[in-house]
Structure 1
Amino acid sequence: MIEGLYETHIQVSNLENAVQFYTQILGLQFAHYDETRPIAFLWIGENKTAMLGLWEQEGNLHKRHFAFTCSKDFILKYANTFLEKSGLKAYNFLKNGSNEPMVFAWMPALALYFDDPDGNQLEFIHILNGKSQPELGVLSYEEWQKINSSH
């Protein structure tokens, strides 16, 4: 019945700044602006397969979290540089000061986090090949590789 998640919505303090961030920095495509609410819709990826709604809200924003699917190569080799050039700081799931991606072994998935200008927690994620190993918890990609190369 359900085939995927089509859209999600977040609150932003300044709609114009948020649209600029998501389109110019992250490369989402502008879709529609509704002045009566005020809200902007942005396409995520190709072929209108997913959408992000940005709702302008005065005061007391409810911060959200969501993840963008990315290639493993992008996350491992380019994400940190991409974020730094955009004035953004990457961090790992543990928020221990490291900007190295980590693996959620229960999925398994490689992930790296950063925040948008309103403090919404964004994530680059890539589902890895291999079986779920929840007993391993969250670990570095290097640890994940060592464990899985011995199987």
Structure 2
Amino acid sequence: MFQNDKVAFFRLEKGKSWLGLWETNQVEIPYHPSIRHVALQIDIDDMTSAKDWLNRKGIEIRTAFDLSEEQQPLVLDNNPQAHAAIYFHDPDGNVLELIAPLRLDFEERFGEMSLEDWYRRNAD
């Protein structure tokens, strides 16, 4: 589905599940996306309320991709799919990601942005 020099994503079921594999020379590292990371799909309509729910539970949003907590949820362009995501840690320090597909099968590169910016950019 997506590949560069250090990572490859394989689609298991279009729009629902995928597997990410990262290349690394290090075995003992505190964190790398290839380990201790689980992504769970939610509906895009639940993404903002998920952030509010996490905040109410006292669960800190993990900032990622140089976007602050205020800019979360974020949107990533892992071509050919764009998706919204929000990251946080479980009690054992594993990274959990809530993910919601926004668009499948496209080639546009835009980097990372907040979900709010995505909606503004794609308003019709």
What's the TM-score, normalizing by structure 2?
A: 0.60
- For the aligned residue pairs, the C-alpha RMSD in angstroms reads 2.9
Structure 2 gap segments, 5+ residues each = 1-10, 18-28
Picking from 81, 84, 90, the partner of 1:110 is: 84
Match of 1:45 in 2: none
Q: Give the distance between the partners of 1:143 and 1:97, measured in 2 at CA.
A: 13
Question: What does 1:80-119 correspond to in 2, within 5 Å?
Answer: 80-94=51-65, 96-99=67-70, 100-105=72-77, 106=79, 107-119=81-93
Which structure has the higher relative contact order (CA within 8 Å, separation 6+)? 2
Which residue of the partner structure matches residue 110 of structure 2?
136
Residues 67, 114 of structure 2: 8 Å contact kept: no
CA deviation vs aligned residue, 1:29-79 (integer Å, no higher than 9, x gap)? xxxxxxxxxxxxxxxxxxxxxxxxxxxxxxx98851111100111112x11
Query: 8 Å contact 2:39–2:98 — kept in the other structure?
Result: yes
- Work out whether residues 89 and 96 of structure 2, in 8 Å CA contact, stay in contact via their aligned partners in 1: yes
Partner residue, 2:37: 65
Q: What's 1:32 paired with?
A: none
- Give the AA of the match of 2:97: E
Tell me if structure 2 keeps the 8 A contact 1:65–1:120: yes
How many positions carry a matched residue from both structures? 94
List gaps (5 residues or longer) in structure 1: 6-59
1:79 to 50, 63, 67: 50
| TM-score where L is the length of structure 1 | 0.51
Give the C-alpha shift of residue 131 in structure 1. 5.0
Rg larger in 1 or in 2? 1
Checking the alignment, whether the CA contact within 8 Å between 1:92 and 1:101 is kept in structure 2 is no
Q: Is the 8 A contact 1:115 1:121 kept in 2?
A: yes
Alpha-carbon distance, 1:96 to partner: 4.2
Deviation at 1:128, TM superposition (A): 0.8
Larger helix proportion of the pair: 1
Match of 1:148 in 2: 122
